[in-house]
Amino acid sequence: MQEPVVITLKKHQLSITDTRKKILNFFLESAGALTHADIEQRTSTEFDRVTIYRTLQTFVEKGIIHVIPSADNAIRYALCKDNCAAGHHHDDHVHFMCDDCGTTYCLDHVSVPKIKLPKGFTANQTDLVVSGVCHKCEA
Amino acid sequence: MQEPVVITLKKHQLSITDTRKKILNFFLESAGALTHADIEQRTSTEFDRVTIYRTLQTFVEKGIIHVIPSADNAIRYALCKDNCAAGHHHDDHVHFMCDDCGTTYCLDHVSVPKIKLPKGFTANQTDLVVSGVCHKCEA
DNA sequence: AACACATTGCAACTTTGTTGCAAAATTTTT
DNA sequence: AAAAATTTTGCAACAAAGTTGCAATGTGTT
């Protein structure tokens, strides 16, 4: 039987390389979202910085991971659900960032409400990020 | 009578300097949000890069402007409403980013709905950014 | 006007992200 | 299973973004 990561990579028509397997595994093992810096730290000198940038970029393009918007200028990535494909992300769930431990969660079961916009405005995508205290950090 | 910018600066207990007056005026004149790069371009060599960084930082701390979260890693700033004070931002309105012209609007009259979170999660702040086509760019 | 204090500009540096190209690895073809 | 074609990786060099310390200038106060 093949590894889960290999299946995912094949499904998105990507060649199987050590870098991709390892980085994808980080996401599978991690509860929350990861930043580029997170990945760079965990792999230390194993992979080149540039390779990590390019791998993440490829994963986003192929619909394997998605970008979570934030106010602190640190791009966070998280795994997409199965209904995301290349060029078409469908991540209309709520994201939660813990002010305490910094973990970013995808709240897959909390959906984003429809927003009534002023006349002339057409919505294409809605990003909703809630910050506060997560279930692990509550006193 | 004093200039509007001077009144605002005094209200937030900031000393009146050319840099602060000019940068604050950019925000008053601009319909949408501004990035650091926007301001740097408009002032060209007039002010040092570092000064712009520090001025924006000060404005955020004092509650004059707020940061708009985004997925593209470019920090956007916009004027706060009057009920924001130092350390306490109350910007629970919806932000809109136009995919066409790039303008970011604060939709002050569209309020953010309450989100039901899973057990153990406590919300502190909710950021909602809608992207799509704005009223100027609709065909 | 003189003082204390805050702000600015400069220089140097760190971090983050990008691009071109040759070497290595992966996939495809024979 | 080996060779050819294609991708991916790592290196180097660079560009952009953001930070810090310090002297000089400007602002507010007495």
pLDDT at residue A85, as a whole number? 62
**Which of chain A's residues have a Cβ under 8 Å away from the Cβ of B117?**
96, 107, 110, 130, 132
Nearest Cα residue in chain B from A138: B120
pLDDT at residue B84, as a whole number? 60
Dist. CA A43–CA A92, nearest whole Å:
31
Query: What's the CA angle centered on B63, arms B16 and B123, to 5 degrees?
Result: 170
* Nearest protein residue, CA measured to C1' of D6: A15
Q: Which nucleotide is nearest to A18 (CA to C1')?
A: C25
Instruction: Report if pTM > 0.85.
Output: yes
pLDDT tens-digit map of B93-128: 899 999 999 899 999 888 899 899 999 999 998 999
Question: Could you tell me which residues come within 8 angstroms of residue A13 by beta carbon, excluding any fewer than 6 positions away?
Answer: A62
Dist. CA A26–CA A4, nearest whole Å:
12
Percent of chain B with pLDDT strictly greater than 70: 92
Nearest Cα residue in chain A from B133: A122
pLDDT tens-digit map of A70-101: 988 889 999 987 655 656 666 678 999 999 99
Question: What mean pLDDT value characterizes chain A?
Answer: 90
What average pLDDT does range B18-23 have in this prediction?
97
What is chain A's length?
139
Of B73, B122, B134, the CB nearest to A73: B73
Answer yes or no: do B122 and A107 touch at CB < 8 A: no
Which of A72, A96, A112, A127 is best to mutate for the B interface (most B CBs within 10 A)? A127
